[in-house]
Amino acid sequence: MILLRVWLTEKPYRIFREGIGRARRRFRATTNEERTAFHLWSMDFESNYDIAASAQFIHTHNFTRVALQFPDHLLKDSTRVVTALRKRLQSLKKCDATGSGHETDVGLFVMADTAYGSCCVDEVGASHINADCVIHYGHTCFSPTTTLPAFFVFGKASICVADCVESMSKYALANSKPIMVLFGLEYAHSMQQIKEALLESSMSCRFDAKPEVHFANVPSSVMFPSKDIKKINGLQEQASGASGTTCSIGGLTWKLPEGQSMDDYLLFWIGLDDSAFANVVLTFNACEIVRYDANEKQMVTDLFQQRRILKRRYYLVERAKDANIVGILVGTLGVAGYLHIINQMMELITGAGKKAYTLVMGRPNPAKLANFPECDVFLYVSCAQTALLDSKEYLAPVITPFEAMIAFNRGSQWTGAYVMEFRDLINLPEMEVIDQEEARFSFLKGGYVEDFENQENVEEEREVLSLVNATEKALQLRNNSNALMKGNARSGAEFLANRSYQGLNMPSENNSPEPYLIGRRGRASGYEDEKNKQ
């Protein structure tokens, strides 16, 4: 993480250097699509970065330490944003200063290179500088925060309204079902225009049948933390009680009339083929979806690749069913309820007779995960838009909490319904455990395999014989050639015992305990004893 610190009172910038190279590398790695999005950003700087609204937000809530969170590709604009924001705040303050007497400095901090996805609010990073609010720039997943209020600046991507409306009405006329328009948040600014234009065109339309087009809304760009995880869902339930159901995904919300479900709609997505879109495709996989690409000015109807993802996820779930050891990867430290879901997953996994280990390692990559060869499957707890990690590079599949629910709950079935956001899982009604008197059938092995913990009488036997088993293992001749074969060990210790190399041997002669030594204190970047030397 880099903290770029800019005090209002003319102090020089101070940059924590160590992360910059990493950020640069990652910038180079950003995809072309992201870069085109970035070019669009330069339209009109002030309005693009929503300087006025964000200054107003800071000012009205009297925040004094504000963290500005930039994704890597926007980092180069950060100083200009800070300057502009500072100017605006000062002018606001002047207006105010005449009224009230007290005067405080507003500290603006630039945060970049977040530990997890840049779409989530990095609350941990912000708390390093005791920030009392975060202003988040760029693409966001709108995951709720736990402690800090956040203001989101989506940016404004250009779109040809006329063309968009034309293709939308064309599509609407070709289909009889009502259409629900969803969009990338960077296009939120022009939605009003599109709505009006569509209305106009339908007025002038000669056809009698008017297309039924609904738009999703962006409720607000401000988010306040909710302490109680139940409350978020509580609110939703209330809304559903009033008139139909409220759906929300990635910051968009819309209402469905009573008795209708999303399957009755066609989805029209305006925006890029990014993680937000993938999220929509997976969640509403039963709907027909088309995408309007604003850059190319064309409709994309072939979503074969996205459908393919769903099948692949199905395969991963089947793989997960065969797993014995599950590594829970903590992929967020900010999204509300993440601790709750981790605990819930732990319970689920142990309940299924498997072993769970929790791993915190920042953004996962294949090399990092390969350091844990004992894990048969990884469970990635993160915000909805960074949740899907799938590449053949990974040695073990990485699944989402929802997939884990299917894989580890006996009797639950893959029906095609898919939930991305883990907070939707927290209040999910306890799945009815159908006590099927049948062993589990594994499609990877092509036969029945049993997680034997589920059989009671064998369990007793295990306890009685545990000592015998332990000694037996110690005496066993090992077949080293397939030591790292997956799926044999039931716990990390057992896995280690099967490895051909188990680390250095402890010297056995010296049995007396080592004397206590006082270790170093501080962080790895500079321990306390090292600081003294400088």
Residues within the interface to other proteins (CB under 8 A) = 285-286, 308, 310-315, 318, 366-373, 392-393, 395, 413-416, 436-439, 441, 443-450, 452, 455, 457-458, 461-462, 469, 472, 479, 481-485, 499-501, 503
The DSSP code sequence of 410-426 is TT----S-----THHHH
Per the CB < 8 A criterion, the answer to whether 301 and 326 are in contact is: no
- Least Å distance, CB 414 to other proteins, is 6
Backbone angles phi, psi at 88, to 5 degrees: -65, -40
Q: Which is nearer to other proteins, 50 or 374 (CB)?
A: 374
Q: Which is nearer to other proteins, 147 or 412 (CB)?
A: 412
Q: Which is nearer to other proteins, 105 or 393 (CB)?
A: 393
Q: Which is nearer to other proteins, 124 or 439 (CB)?
A: 439
Q: Which residues does residue 68 pair with via DSSP β-bridges, in sequence order?
A: 110, 135
Question: Which tokens hold the place of 338?
Answer: 């993440």
- Least Å distance, CB 420 to other proteins, is 17
**DSSP 8-state secondary structure symbol assigned to residue 92:** H
- Least Å distance, CB 353 to other proteins, is 11
| Residues contacting residue 215 through CB under 8 Å, at least 6 positions apart | 180, 181, 191, 195, 254
* Cα dihedral: 77, 82, 87, 90 (round 10): 160
Task: Name the residue type at position 98.
Answer: T
Largest Cα span, the chain = 96
Name residue, tokens 């090292």.
530
Q: Which is nearer to other proteins, 178 or 366 (CB)?
A: 366
- Least Å distance, CB 371 to other proteins, is 4
Give the number of C-alpha atoms closer than 13 A to the C-alpha of residue 125, restricted to the C-beta side: 29
Q: Which is nearer to other proteins, 166 or 453 (CB)?
A: 453
- Least Å distance, CB 445 to other proteins, is 8
Q: Which is nearer to other proteins, 503 or 515 (CB)?
A: 503
Task: Name the residue type at position 151.
Answer: F
Q: Which is nearer to other proteins, 93 or 354 (CB)?
A: 354
Question: Which tokens hold the place of 39?
Answer: 């070019």
Q: Which is nearer to other proteins, 239 or 395 (CB)?
A: 395
Q: Using alpha carbons only, give the angle 69, 74, 75 rounded to the nearest 5 degrees.
A: 70
| Residues contacting residue 268 through CB under 8 Å, at least 6 positions apart | 168, 171, 179, 180, 181, 182, 213, 289, 290, 292
- Least Å distance, CB 311 to other proteins, is 3
Q: Which is nearer to other proteins, 63 or 408 (CB)?
A: 408
Distance, CA of 220 to CA of 252 (rounded, Å): 10
Distance, CA of 54 to CA of 472 (rounded, Å): 67
Element (H, E) at 5: strand 2-7
Helix (H, G, I), strand (E, B) or coil at 470: helix
58-73 in b/e burial notation, b at 16+ Cβ within 10 A? Answer: bbeeebebbbbbbbbb
* Cα dihedral: 339, 344, 350, 354 (round 10): -80
Task: Name the residue type at position 288.
Answer: E
Q: How far is CA 279 from CA 78, 94, 134, 477, in A?
A: 29, 45, 25, 49
**DSSP 8-state secondary structure symbol assigned to residue 514:** P
Q: Which is nearer to other proteins, 222 or 497 (CB)?
A: 497
Name residue, tokens 């339908």.
202
Q: Which is nearer to other proteins, 367 or 467 (CB)?
A: 367
Distance, CA of 155 to CA of 137 (rounded, Å): 7
- Least Å distance, CB 415 to other proteins, is 6
